[in-house]
């Protein structure tokens, strides 16, 4: 086994801060309830049998054993009557009484994305009190890295304390400030080495500790990192990668660290080497210069509020989505050369989802892109109730690129482009609904409802109970 010389590796004081059950905690605080002791879940489309659980409080997870991103139909109780739903299993009367007691206490609320963003901005302001903007790297709406290397001695000048003690103390202060400003509890993974070890400390230890903090160093690689029980508990390893590793005889992080890096590179390419270094706790990323990959495509998807059985309704929604993504394409000054379509069927249908794509000449025209989307749909769709759709434009090129044929009416194409850009400007100034197609008034249209969403979910302040 190769030996890593950790003295030559980067050493930074990193805190990875995660808001505890963020969406659910915000909803609890808004109602004056304790985020860790209240049974609450944030559910999109609770009026629907397929309502999606976006977030849930720790108590909800403990009582009902459900994680986020599951369906209302998976719960052991009916969300309307709050009565026990057996789902085929045999249980005791005591269990039924327990479930129904908690079901009656449980709050089921709709998502309010505008509110969550507002709370996130408060938290970002707190981060800026402890680190400069370039030393803060948001990971998601409820998580973020802070590089505290340069500010550690400023906030804690005590020379009798080592940097590990200072990092823990400063992280505790950050937790307290977040709680004072928002009422939300946070968990912190720390490392005096790199961001990877901070993230692993959070996922594998901090969440279990009473103070909700944990610190991992290079010295902890063998005792803590290699002791992670499952491959999929390791950052960057999902089910598919884990299966490929197991085929190579690698079933643990320790075995991954002891594997031949050249063999891993042959199997996974550069990612294989990255996995090997990560298994040794090595991560040379710099938060002040985060890697931002170039976008290779943009898209959008949605779960329909009901099963769509009429082709006309399906095509209305597909056209609306094709237009919405085309607008985004023009905003980033790109053209698409690949159009992709996803159509998912109702869970009552025993039908395989449609996933198809086609190469097209560079375009950002709503008219052309909508035509391509509908063409793909008409070629592949045969039957079945549709519940999910997605449109994606890929292999993007600069908008200056164009390909014409002898049959193109260049003058008409330029007029269409000017019209679409004029409509874009009107919508940017007065809102998306300022200019709409007549089809938006037809049954099945989703454009009015989706224009009010943020991140695909309700953005308003409705739903307070």
- State both tokens at 39: 């049974």
Q: Around Cβ 225, how many Cβ atoms within 10 Å?
A: 23
- Residue of 215, 296, 221 lying closest to 257 (CA atoms): 221
Q: Residue 359 forms beta bridges with which residues?
A: 338
- Report how far residue 50's alpha carbon sits from residue 3's, in angstroms, rounded to the nearest whole number: 51
Q: Which two tokens stand for residue 296?
A: 């290779």
Neighbour-count burial for 102-122, b at 16+ CB within 10 Å, e otherwise: bbeebbbbbbbbbbbeebbee
Distances (CA, A) of 13 to 50, 199, 427: 44, 13, 45
| Cβ atoms 33, 167 nearer than 8 A | no
Helix (H) or strand (E) holding 147: strand 143-147
Sequence-ordered list of residues with C-beta below 8 angstroms from that of 125, at least 6 positions apart, any chain: none
In angstroms, the CA 325 to CA 370 distance is 10
CA 422 – CA 435 distance, rounded (Å) = 10
Strand 186-191 relative to strand 213-216, pairing: parallel
Longest dimension (CA), the chain: 80
Q: How many CB atoms within 10 Å of residue 332?
A: 11
Indicate which residue of 27, 119, 135, 143 is catalytic: 143
The DSSP bridge pattern shows strands 143-147 and 136-140 to be antiparallel
Catalytic-residue membership of 143: yes
**Contact call for residues 10 and 194 (beta carbons, < 8 A):** yes
Q: Which residues are catalytic?
A: 143
């Amino acid at each position: 086994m190769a030996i890593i010389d950790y003295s030559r590796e980067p050493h930074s004081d990193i805190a990875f801060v995660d808001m505890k059950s963020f969406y659910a905690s915000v909803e609890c605080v808004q109602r004056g309830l304790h985020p860790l002791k209240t049974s609450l879940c944030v559910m999109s489309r609770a009026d629907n049998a397929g309502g999606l659980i976006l977030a849930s409080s720790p108590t909800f997870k403990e009582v009902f054993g459900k994680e986020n991103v599951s369906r209302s139909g998976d719960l052991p109780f009916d969300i309307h009557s709050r009565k026990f739903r057996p789902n085929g299993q045999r249980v005791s009367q005591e269990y039924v009484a327990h479930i129904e007691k908690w079901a009656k206490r449980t709050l089921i609320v709709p998502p309010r994305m505008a509110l969550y963003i507002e709370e996130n901005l408060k938290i970002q302001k707190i981060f800026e009190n402890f680190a400069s903007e370039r030393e803060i790297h948001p990971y998601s709406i409820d998580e973020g890295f802070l590089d505290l290397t340069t500010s550690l001695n400023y906030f804690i000048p005590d020379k009798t304390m080592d940097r590990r003690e200072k990092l823990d103390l400063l992280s505790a202060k950050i937790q307290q400030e977040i709680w004072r400003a928002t009422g939300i509890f946070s968990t912190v993974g720390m490392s005096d080495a790199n961001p990877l070890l901070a993230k692993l400390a959070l996922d594998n230890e901090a969440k279990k500790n009473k103070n909700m903090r944990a610190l991992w160093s290079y010295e902890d690689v063998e005792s803590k990192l290699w002791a992670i029980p499952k491959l999929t508990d390791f950052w960057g390893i999902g089910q598919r990668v884990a299966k490929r590793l197991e085929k190579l005889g690698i079933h643990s992080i320790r075995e991954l660290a002891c594997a031949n890096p050249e063999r891993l590179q042959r199997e996974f390419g550069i990612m294989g080497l990255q996995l090997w270094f990560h298994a040794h706790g090595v991560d040379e990323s710099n938060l002040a210069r985060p890697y931002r990959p170039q976008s290779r495509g943009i898209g959008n998807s949605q779960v329909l509020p009901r099963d769509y059985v009429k082709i006309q309704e399906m095509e209305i929604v597909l056209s609306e989505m094709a237009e919405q993504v085309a607008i985004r394409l023009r905003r980033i000054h790109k053209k698409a050369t690949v159009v992709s379509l996803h159509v998912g069927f109702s869970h009552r249908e025993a039908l395989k989802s449609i996933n198809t794509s086609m190469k097209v000449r560079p375009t950002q025209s709503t008219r052309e892109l909508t035509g391509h989307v509908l063409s793909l749909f008409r070629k592949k769709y045969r039957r079945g109730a549709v519940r999910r759709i997605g449109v994606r434009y890929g292999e993007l090129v600069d908008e200056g690129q164009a390909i014409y044929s002898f049959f193109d009416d260049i003058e008409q194409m330029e007029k269409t482009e000017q019209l679409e850009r004029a409509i874009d400007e009107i919508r940017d100034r007065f809102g998306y609904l300022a200019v709409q197609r007549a089809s938006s008034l037809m049954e099945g249209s989703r454009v009015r409802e989706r224009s009010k969403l943020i991140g695909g979910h309700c953005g308003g302040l409705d739903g307070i109970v």
